[in-house]
Structure 1
Amino acid sequence: MLFTRATEYALLALVLIAKEEKPLGTDYLSKRLNISRSFLAKILQSLAKQNILKSYKGATGGFMLARPPRELSIKEITQAAEGKNIAVFDCSTDQACCPSNKGDFCTLWPFLNRLQTKVDNYLDELTLEDILE
């Protein structure tokens, strides 16, 4: 599957964070977005580990963007939120992962691989700034 709730929540949180000039805490974001605090905290920490967010500790701590929105691709955000490379289908990036076990050739794989390449390129070009507009 291409996107899960982790990506959805990451994008929703990043939109709010991008519109502020001060760190936003997990409590505030989870209440504002009506999202589980613990699940959101896990996502935000993943984004911080991938240099998408900066994390600030303390009473006025929280999260801010580590880079301008125009430098944050949706592909990068999605991969950080999901914890893996995105794939339209399990086998779309590697024919060896074909679940049908039809040998070394699947008639669908060339199409799926081209689709994956188009999706990857589109998500690489689409940025957080595009979503903010």
Structure 2
Amino acid sequence: MLMTKASEYALLSLIVLAKAGHPLDADTLSKELDISKSFLAKILQSLARQGILNSYKGVNGGFELARHSREITVLEVMEAAEGKSPAVFSCSPSQEDCPSNKAMSCGLWPFLNRLQGKVDAFLGTLTLEAILEE
């Protein structure tokens, strides 16, 4: 599956943070987005570890964008939220990923791999700024 809840929540959080223009804590974000605080906190920490968010501790702490929204791509957000590259199908990134071990004889794999490449290229050029402008 390409877009999981983790990726969706990561993107929604980034939209709220970009519009806020100042740090927001996980509790505030979880209430605004109606998302489990513990699940969201894990996602936010992953985004911070990947340099997408800055994380501040303390009373006035929270999270804010580490870079301008035009420098953050949907692909890197999804990779940070998922801990791996997003895949259209489980076997599309490489033949070794085929769950049935039949990729070498699979007539669909070349098509799925090309589709994966096009999706990755699109997500790699789609920025948070473009989403905010929609």
Query: Which TM bucket (shorter chain)?
Result: over 0.9
Runs of 4+ in 1 over 6 A off after TM superposition: none
Q: Provide the C-alpha distance between the structure 1 equivalents of 2:14 and 2:103, rounded to a whole number of angstroms.
A: 43
SS of the counterpart of 1:104?
helix
Q: Provide the C-alpha distance between the structure 2 equivalents of 1:113 and 1:88, rounded to a whole number of angstroms.
A: 9
**Structure 1 partner of 2:5:** 5
Specify the code of the residue in structure 2 equivalent to 1:49. Answer: R
Gap regions ≥5 residues in structure 2? none
Q: 1:123 Cα deviation (Å)?
A: 0.1
Q: With structure 1 as the length reference, what TM-score do the two structures score? A: 0.96
Pairing 1:1-133 to 2, within 5 Å after superposition: 1-102=1-102, 104-133=104-133
Q: Provide the C-alpha distance between the structure 2 equivalents of 1:125 and 1:76, rounded to a whole number of angstroms.
A: 10
Q: Assess if the C-alpha contact under 8 Å between 2:7 and 2:81 holds in 1.
A: yes
Task: Considering fraction of residues, name the structure with more helix.
Answer: 2
Count of residues in correspondence between the two structures: 133
SS of the counterpart of 1:19?
helix
Sort the Cα spacing of 1:111 and 1:128 in 2 relative to 1 into closer, same or farther, 3 A: same
Q: Provide the C-alpha distance between the structure 1 equivalents of 2:92 and 2:103, rounded to a whole number of angstroms.
A: 16
Q: 1:103 Cα deviation (Å)?
A: 6.5
Q: 1:95 Cα deviation (Å)?
A: 1.1
SS of the counterpart of 2:21?
coil
Q: Provide the C-alpha distance between the structure 1 equivalents of 2:121 and 2:73, rounded to a whole number of angstroms.
A: 10
Q: Provide the C-alpha distance between the structure 2 equivalents of 1:102 and 1:51, rounded to a whole number of angstroms.
A: 38
Q: Assess if the C-alpha contact under 8 Å between 2:54 and 2:66 holds in 1.
A: yes
What whole-Å deviation, never above 9, does each CA across 1:50-92 have from its counterpart, x for those lacking one? 0000001111110000000000000000000011111111110
SS of the counterpart of 2:79?
helix
CA RMSD of aligned residues (A): 1.1
